[in-house]
Amino acid sequence: MGLGIAFRSKDFMRGAKSSHFIHGLDAIRFFCALWVYMGHYGAPPLPASVDKTTIFGVLATGVYNNLTPGPAAVIVFFVISGLCIHAQSPSVFGSWLDIIVFLTRRYLRIIPPMLIAIAIAEYATKVKLDLFEQTILWSLLAEMIYYTLYPLLLWIRSAVGDWRSIIITAFAVSLMVAATNPTAGNYPSYGVSMNWLLGLPCWLLGCELADRLKGPTNRRPEWNIWIWRGGILLLACACSVLRFHSPIGYPWTLNFFALAAQAWLYREIVHFKSGGPRGVFDWAGKWSYSLYLVHPLAVSFYRQAPIDISASLPAWLAQTGFVLIFSYGFAVLFEFTSHRFARYVAGVMKGNAYLASISAFKWPSAVLTIGKSRAD
């Protein structure tokens, strides 16, 4: 073969856990994906005993309806993404091949499942996943842009010394983006060309968090972590209330919410690092991308069946159970396969002599030390 690529099934099927694996993040990913699902299709219904004609019932219903804002969960996804990319990537991109392998691996993890979901939506459901700014796909496009820019951002970070000045600049740009449509209620209201700019500071906060976690950390008592969890939920609820009951939309609030999300995630990671419990939610988090991606498809299939879809708790549990099973099946068939294939292709590229010879081109000294300060 021209590039000497040999396919070995054992190498393809073998998956290694990253040495930078951060306990607790998978469970948070799962709950974020579940929050997005509930933001789209509703949380468990309130008990029938709640009288919505009374002041208490109206207030309880109003608060409850704002407890599952999916856009806030997407912001947490952005912070986690920046954290994981910066924590797991090499401290130095020393050649073109390093960058190409990095980008290839990231693209192969995210794009194939997305294309399959788009095809299923197009030919088997009434769900539309073909617009990157009016569906959940806008955030995936933003993620791919962040991956592509990461080597450049890492070089800038090395040049300026830390992430803070980059984040401040990104925040300023995001406010200018929001100002182009100041009355917008939804976060991705600025088109393909600018939605990613709005979310960039959130992603960069994750990169900064990765550097912060390299320092010493202290265990915090469990009551403290539950205060943080309750606080971040109430803050997300407040953003939702402002979105639907004031002129202040998500573009003006969620980036500031990301600052609190960064602080909360730091404490979550410290909590789990120091012995916090792990369980089924960590397992579920490993297929949270599939849950995020295909929950609209699962709901569409479920509602085509002649079954009860009334606003009752049993009906909600049945639909949610189907969504989880469908999402896990999609992950097993497509998401996990993409992960293995991405690792395999990256390994083949690293060991290919032809690609290695191309990447031997001498870079300018400044580029050769991209990210060097991370090891300082």
DSSP 3-state of 170: helix
What token pair was written down for 85? 């990319």
Residue 209 lies in a domain: yes
Alpha-carbon distance of 31 to 20, in angstroms, equals: 22
SS3 content of the chain, % helix, strand, coil (to 5): 70, 0, 30
> Is 169 within the bounds of a domain?
yes
Distance of CA 242 to the CA centre of its chain: 23
Domain with 172 in it: 9-370
User: 331 in a domain, yes or no?
Assistant: yes
pLDDT, tens digit (0-9, with 9 covering 90-100), for 222-250 = 668 889 999 999 999 999 999 999 999 99
| pLDDT for res 277 | 59
pLDDT at 292: 96
pLDDT at 351: 73
C-alpha gyration radius of the chain: 22
| Residue 376 domain flag | no
Block means of pLDDT (10 residues each) for the chain, 376 residues, are: 33 38 87 94 78 75 85 96 87 75 93 94 78 77 95 91 94 97 94 94 96 73 81 95 94 97 93 73 93 94 79 87 96 95 87 58 45 42
What is the predicted pLDDT for the residue at 271? 84
Rounded Cα distance, 60 and 55, in Å = 8
> What is the token pair recorded at 186?
């939804």
Query: CB–CB of 268/28 below 8 Å?
Result: yes
The rounded distance, in Å, linking the Cα atoms of 237 and 244 is 11
pLDDT at 130: 59
- Within a domain: residue 4? no
pLDDT for the residue 221: 53
Total domain count, the chain? 1
For residue 134, tell me if it sits in a domain.
yes
Instruction: Report pLDDT for 114.
Output: 94
Packing angle of the helix pair 195-212, 70-88 (nearest 10 deg) = 50
- 96 phi and psi angles, rounded to 5 deg: -60, -35
Please list, in sequence order, all residues whose beta carbon lies within 8 angstroms of the beta carbon of residue 165, skipping any fewer than 6 positions away.
none
Residue 96 lies in a domain: yes
229: nearest Cα among 274, 278, 267: 267
Domain contains 2 = no
- Could you give the CA distance from residue 114 to residue 259 in angstroms, rounded to a whole number? 29
